[in-house]
A = this chain, B = another copy of it.
Amino acid sequence: MAANPSKTSKPVFAPVRQDRNFEVVVQRVRDKLMDGELRPGDKLPPEREFAKQLNVSRNVVREALRILENAGLVRTRKGAHGGAFVAPGGTAQMTQVMGDLILLNAISLEDLFEARTLLLEMVLDKVGQLDHPPDLEPLANAVEETRAAVMAGDSARRVAAARDFYHQIAELSGNSALVFTTNAQTDLVQTFLRFRISDMEPEDLINSRVAFLEMLREGKFEDAKVELRQHLDRVHKSLWSKKS
């Protein structure tokens, strides 16, 4: 294996280097993020200068930037005042990761749908246990937006409103981890449903939304859960007939 005169001796010297250079660069940036030395909005050095500082080639810096960019940690802009900037966190990455797991058949669509329903129901449970009544204003706005989108016959707007609707439900939990997770799930479901949107009668949709909201207003969280589950089951089922 290595310099190894005696038969059974193990390598005395650790490998000089095992990580690839761009991985080291990525880790350096992550470290600065963890130390708080880099914060969202901050700018990394230009690629050429960064390469000089780190004593690596520009290629290495760029491959590291691709990783950081794909991880959602930085975003890059071209041109004069361009560069790589530390990004605020978003849902995109989690959506992509879960989507990739579906691509790789590590997660089935059924499980995704079920998990989403369960999480949203869980949020309602949690909201029902709060001592103070939740602020339903954003949710009401989302319902109004849905109604407006339906009236306007604008399906893209309707999808966006639906996304906001479920987002606002998650927000009721006050837990950002749950918000990110459910948002990612909603994005994925909408992606898979994009091809057969208007399977549901617009009237049924609005009725469901309004009824759900009213139940929340009256504190009938169990009823709301049932209404939500029935609606989600219908939505999810609409994909089933088409699939396979």
Contacts and interface: CB of A to CB of B under 8 A. Distances in A.
Copies in the complex: 2
Interface residues of A toward B: which range? 35 or more
B100 A71 contact: yes
A163 interface: no
A71 B72 contact: no
A161 to B, nearest CB: 24
Nearest to A64: B66
Given A87-B104, A176-B111, A177-B107, A70 B73 contact: no
A157 B114 CA distance: 33
27 contacts: A22-B66, A30-B103, A33-B103, A33-B104, A40-B104, A59-B59, A59-B62, A63-B66, A66-B67, A66-B70, A67-B67, A67-B70, A72-B97, A86-B104, A88-B106, A89-B105, A89-B106, A90-B106, A93-B101, A94-B98, A101-B180, A107-B177, A114-B175, A115-B178, A115-B181, A119-B122, A177-B185
